């Protein structure tokens, strides 16, 4: 009795073995590290830097040559000077000799910005953890409601919030706490939304292991949520810092003469007839250099926070 053997299939060689499909993260990394992407990034960085360099060079032009010569002409003559920076920071100027120097406004900007960044981050991260990992009735509705507040223009809330912070109620309008509260309120919807998306993607096994070990929600928040959320927190901190530092509307409405940040005097720095226009470039560069320092200090966290959760695998 003969037995018919099935036909042998094609021999599988190691070279013919099926290759593993590239993940999205691997494909994105390959595209971003290609020579063309690197060249494009260099070109974009150079083009983006040109206005900053031009502003800095313009800030070095003496006042008597500001409206006459371009900065490259003054540089060729050796007439560039750093005296504009010291004058705008430490001397009185403006339409009269009693106008205060900008150093006080720089300090005000720091005093306004730092708490206005820390408060939304702390409260937003706490709210994000509670909505994502503490089950309670109405959590989804609460998150959707907070997210929906982003579509409400902040200009609609200026007058009602000013009445709450005004002399008839809390009486902190025109002071630093009033500005801090206003910036914190306006930043909360975006902060909760972004941090919730990050916190909700933390593996549940880590939090369950913490609960098994007897960790409370407070211990879990400080020992697990905060360390793992640093990239997202740093990214949001940069956005909030830039928003508050460059803000003029909120600081003008809820602040006072003693709390005005750097953006307020710069908007009126040129004078009624433009006689102080040569001081605008150094003042603008001073207002720009501090956010640049913050950005480059947190750059690695910023990139990680933007890419976190965007791809899997």
The tens digit of pLDDT for each residue in 157-202 reads 899 999 999 888 898 988 999 999 999 999 999 999 989 988 988 8
221-229: which pairs have CB atoms within 8 A and are 24 or more residues apart? 221/126, 221/129, 225/125, 225/129, 225/199, 226/125, 228/202, 229/125, 229/195, 229/198, 229/199, 229/202
User: Cα separation of 130 and 137, whole Å?
Assistant: 12
Prediction pTM value = 0.78
User: Cα separation of 89 and 146, whole Å?
Assistant: 41
| DSSP conformation class of 63 | G
User: Cα separation of 255 and 172, whole Å?
Assistant: 9
* 226 touches 237 (CB < 8 A): no
CA atoms within 13 A on the CB side of 51: 5
Radius of gyration of the chain (CA): 28
Listed by start position, the domains of the chain span 117-275+284-307
What is the three-class DSSP state of 3?
coil
Kind and range of the H or E run holding 118: helix 103-133
Structure tokens at 149: 């507040």
* 190 touches 123 (CB < 8 A): no
User: Cα separation of 140 and 119, whole Å?
Assistant: 23
Sequence-distant (≥ 6) Cβ neighbours of residue 230 within 8 angstroms:
301
Sequence-distant (≥ 6) Cβ neighbours of residue 149 within 8 angstroms:
188, 189
Q: What is the pLDDT of residue 110?
A: 93
Q: What is the pLDDT of residue 17?
A: 45
Q: What is the pLDDT of residue 311?
A: 43
* 131 touches 143 (CB < 8 A): yes
Q: What is the pLDDT of residue 187?
A: 93
Nearest to 265 by CA among 54, 102, 60: 102
Nearest to 289 by CA among 246, 239, 232, 237: 246
User: Cα separation of 263 and 287, whole Å?
Assistant: 8
* 176 touches 111 (CB < 8 A): yes
Kind and range of the H or E run holding 302: helix 299-307
**Any idea which fold 117-275+284-307 has?**
MetI-like fold (1.10.3720)
Block means of pLDDT (10 residues each) for the chain, 313 residues, are 52 48 64 77 87 89 85 87 86 57 89 95 93 88 88 88 90 92 93 90 89 89 90 88 92 89 84 78 89 81 57 42
Residue found under tokens 């009126």 = 268
| DSSP conformation class of 11 | P
* 58 touches 49 (CB < 8 A): no
């Amino acid at each position: 009795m003969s037995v018919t053997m099935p036909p042998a299939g094609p021999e599988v060689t190691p070279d013919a073995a099926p290759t593993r499909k590239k993940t999205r993260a691997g494909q994105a990394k390959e595209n971003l590290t290609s020579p063309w992407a690197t060249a494009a990034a260099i070109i974009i960085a150079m083009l983006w830097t040109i206005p900053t360099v031009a502003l800095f060079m313009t800030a070095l032009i003496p006042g008597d040559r500001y409206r006459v010569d371009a900065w490259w002409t003054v540089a060729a003559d050796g007439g560039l000077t750093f005296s504009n920076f010291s004058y705008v920071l430490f001397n009185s100027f403006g339409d009269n000799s009693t106008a205060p120097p900008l150093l006080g406004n720089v300090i005000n900007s720091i005093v306004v910005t730092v708490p206005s960044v820390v408060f939304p981050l702390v409260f937003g991260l706490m709210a994000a953890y509670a909505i994502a990992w503490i089950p309670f009735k109405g959590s989804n509705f609460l998150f959707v409601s907070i997210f929906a507040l982003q579509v409400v223009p902040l200009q609609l809330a200026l007058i009602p919030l000013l009445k709450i912070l005004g002399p008839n109620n809390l009486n902190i309008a025109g002071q630093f706490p009033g500005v801090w509260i206003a910036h914190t309120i306006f930043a909360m919807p975006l902060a909760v939304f972004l941090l919730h998306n990050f916190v909700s993607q933390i593996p549940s096994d880590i939090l369950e292991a913490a609960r098994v070990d007897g960790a409370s929600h407070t211990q879990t928040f400080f020992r697990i949520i905060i360390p793992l959320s640093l990239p997202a927190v740093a990214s949001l901190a940069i956005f909030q810092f830039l928003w508050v530092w460059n803000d003029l509307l909120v600081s003008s409405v809820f602040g006072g003469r003693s709390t005005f940040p750097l953006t307020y005097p710069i908007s009126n720095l040129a004078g009624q007839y433009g006689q102080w226009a040569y001081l605008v470039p150094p003042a603008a560069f001073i207002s720009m250099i501090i956010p640049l320092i913050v950005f480059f200090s947190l750059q690695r966290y910023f990139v990680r926070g933007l890419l976190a959760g965007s791809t899997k695998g």
